[in-house]
Amino acid sequence: MLLTIISFLLFLPSLTSSSEAQTWIKAGYWYSVSQFPVSDIDSTLFTHLTFAFAYINTSTYELLIAPSDEPYMLTFTDIVRQKNPSIVTLLSIWTGDSNFSTFYSMASQPSHRTSFIESSIQRARLYGFRGLDLCCVKPDTSTTKMEAMGILFDEWRTAINRESKNSTRSPLVLTLAGYYLPSKDSTSYPMESIRRNFDWVLIVSFFYHLPTMENFTGAHSALYDPSSNVSTDYKIKEWISRGLPAEKMVLGLPYAWTLLDPSANNEIGSPATGPAVTLDGSMSYKFIKSTMRCDGEKVVYNSTYVTNYCINGSVWIGYDDVEAIRTKVRYAREKRLLGYKVWHVANDDNWVLSKAAGWMDGEKELQSLFRTTVASPGNANAPNLLVFNVYSFGVLLLQIISGKRNNCSHGVHEDLNLLDYAYELWKCGKGMEFMDPSLDDTNSSCKLVRCMQIALLCVQENPADRPSMLELSSTLKNETAAMNTPKRPAFSTRRDEDEDEVQVQVQVQEIWSVGDVSFSETVAR
C-alpha cells in the first residue's frame, strides 16, 4: 500500500503557479499517405491535429495541394470535430528532402514570398484549418538564406494578423517543425524571428540513428545518451542556449520505428548488418506489436537512453513503448515545455501510445488535493503561491510514513516541526522511531528509512540540492542506488554547526522574497 501511494504521488504532474498556467499541447500529425480513416482518429486524445502535407509549387511558389488529398482536406476538420468540438486543426507544409531548394528560392525573393504567404492563408481558410505548420526545413550554412528565412517569418505573421483583423476571425496558429539541431556549422535558424512569429516549435526528436546509414544498433529517439550528444535532452538544451524559450517548444514523439539486424549481441550499440523486415527498416508501432509480437519478456526498457527494444529471432527492434513515452512526457513537463506532438497518429495501436502520452491529464482533478499554499513570510499582504513540486512531495511522503497530518491552515508552519523531527532522528540513526507503527515490520524497515531519506532530500533548503522528479523515479525504482546525504530542511528553526549562518539567511531571503519571481523556478524541484 505504501509503495502504491508513493508511486501515485511521484507521477503527479509538476504544477506552476496559477499565473503561469498554460494550455498543455497534445498534438499529432495525420499523414494522408497512410490511408488511415480520418473518422477512426480518437480526437479526444489531442488538442491539435495536423494534416500532412501541402507543398510549394516549384514555378509559382503558391501552396500546392495534391488532387488526391483535396477530398480529405475538405472534410478533415468537420470529421475530427465530431468527437472533439474544441480540436484545433492545422495544415502542414512539407519543405524537406528535395523541397529545400524550392523553399529557399521562395524565401529569397519578395514576390515569391508574397505568393506563398497569401496562398497559404487562403488555402487554410478555404479548407477550414485554424493554423499552418511549416515542416522540416533545415538550417543552412548560408547566412543569406537564414536572413531570408527570418524575413519570410516576419512577413508571414504580419499577413496573418492583417487577415485576421480584416476578416474579424481569430489569427491562424503558426507553428514550425524544426530540425533537431538549431544550427549548422557557424550559422543558425533566425531565432529572434522564430520567437516573435511562431506560436510554438516542434523539436523533431527522432531519426538520430538509421539502419540505412549505420552498422550498429542505435536508440533513434534517445532522450539521453551517456556516450554522445546525439540525444533529445542535448538538443533541447541547445535550442534553449540559442534563444528559444522552453515554453515555446513542443517535444516530438515518434510513432514509427527502426529495425536493425544484429550479427553479435543485442544491446544498444551492438554490430548490425543493416535494415531488417522492410527496405529501410521502418515500421509502425501497430506492426511491431502485432506482426512482430513484441510483448512480454521480449521487450526491454532501457532507462539510460529512455527507449525500448525487442528481440525477435535475429531481428533487433528499437522503438518507444509505453514506459519510454511516459518518461518523455514527464521530461517535457519538468522542463516546462509547451507539450508534445506525435508522428504520426495512424502508427499507434488502439491508441495505446496516445493514451500513455496523455497519462497526466487527471491533473485538474488532483490539483485541489495536492496544492500547497505558501504565504510569503513577513508580508501579510503578499499573494499566496500555489505549487506542487519536489518539496511538496517530500512533505507528503514524510506525513504518510509517520502517520502525522498537517492541520495548520496557514501553510507550511506545521510541517516545520515534522521536518526538523524527521531530520534529527535520521541523523541519529533512529529513523524507525519516526514511522507509523502500522508500517513497522522488520522486513520493510530498510525500505522505510530509505523513503525517509528520499523525502528529506526533497525538502532541503536550497532547491538546487533537491532531486528532479526523474531522479526521484529512478531512485525509487532502484533500491540499491546511491543517494546523497540530506542537508537540513527548509525553514528549519535549528542549524548544523558547520553551516554558515549568514549564507543561510541570504538563501532564505532569495527563495522567499515577495518580489523575487525566481521562486517559480523551483517548481520542478
User: Would you list the DSSP string of 182-231?
Assistant: SEETTEE--HHHHHHH-SEEEE----SS-TTT-SB---TT-S--TTSS-S
- Contact in structure between 149 and 189 (CB atoms under 8 Å): yes
Residue 467, burial from CB neighbour count under 10 angstroms (0-12, 13-18, 19+): buried
The residue type at 156: W
**CA–CA distance from 115 to each of 55, 66, 92, 107, 393 (Å)?**
13, 18, 17, 10, 54
Write the pLDDT tens digit of every residue in 91-124: 999 998 878 899 999 999 999 999 999 999 999 9
* Ramachandran angles phi, psi of 176, nearest 5°: -130, 130
Q: Is the pLDDT of residue 175 over 60?
A: yes
- Give just the sign of the alpha carbon dihedral 347, 350, 353, 355: positive
Q: Which CATH class is domain 23-254+322-361?
A: alpha beta
Round to whole Å and give the CA distance between 91 and 12.
34
Highest average pLDDT, of 88-92, 318-322, 465-469, comes from 88-92
Residue 235: left if φ>0, alpha if ψ -120 to 50, beta else—which one? Answer: alpha
- pLDDT for the residue numbered 407: 42
**Domain 390-477 falls under CATH 2.40.50.140:** no
Q: Is the pLDDT of residue 263 over 80?
A: no
Looking at 18-32, 110-124, 300-314, which range is the least confident one?
18-32
- pLDDT for the residue numbered 363: 44
Whose grid coordinates read 488502439? 350
Round to whole Å and give the CA distance between 45 and 27.
9
Whole-number mean pLDDT of the chain?
A: 80
Q: Is the pLDDT of residue 208 over 80?
A: no
Which of 38, 198, 181 is CA-nearest to residue 134? 198
- pLDDT for the residue numbered 345: 95
Q: Is the pLDDT of residue 459 over 60?
A: yes
Looking at 14-18, 124-128, 129-133, 455-459, which range is the least confident one?
14-18
Q: Is the pLDDT of residue 281 over 80?
A: no
Looking at 15-24, 481-490, 505-514, which range is the least confident one?
505-514
- pLDDT for the residue numbered 393: 84
- pLDDT for the residue numbered 366: 38
Per-residue DSSP letter, 427: H
Mean pLDDT of 468-487: 78
**Distance in Å from the first CA to the final CA of the chain:** 25
Query: Model-level pTM greater than 0.85?
Result: no
Segments making up each domain of the chain, as ranges: 23-254+322-361, 390-477
User: Residues 200, 205, 210, CA angle at the centre, nearest 5°?
Assistant: 150
- pLDDT for the residue numbered 340: 95
Pairwise pLDDT comparison (347 vs 282), residue with the higher score: 347
Q: Is the pLDDT of residue 420 over 80?
A: yes
- pLDDT for the residue numbered 506: 38
Whose grid coordinates read 515534522? 418
Write the pLDDT tens digit of every residue in 47-60: 999 999 999 999 99
Whose grid coordinates read 526538523? 420
Looking at 5-9, 248-252, 383-387, which range is the least confident one?
383-387
Q: Is the pLDDT of residue 515 over 80?
A: no
Q: Which residues contact 465 (CB under 8 A, 6 or more apart)?
A: 457, 484, 487
Mean pLDDT of 59-65: 97
Round to whole Å and give the CA distance between 55 and 136.
12
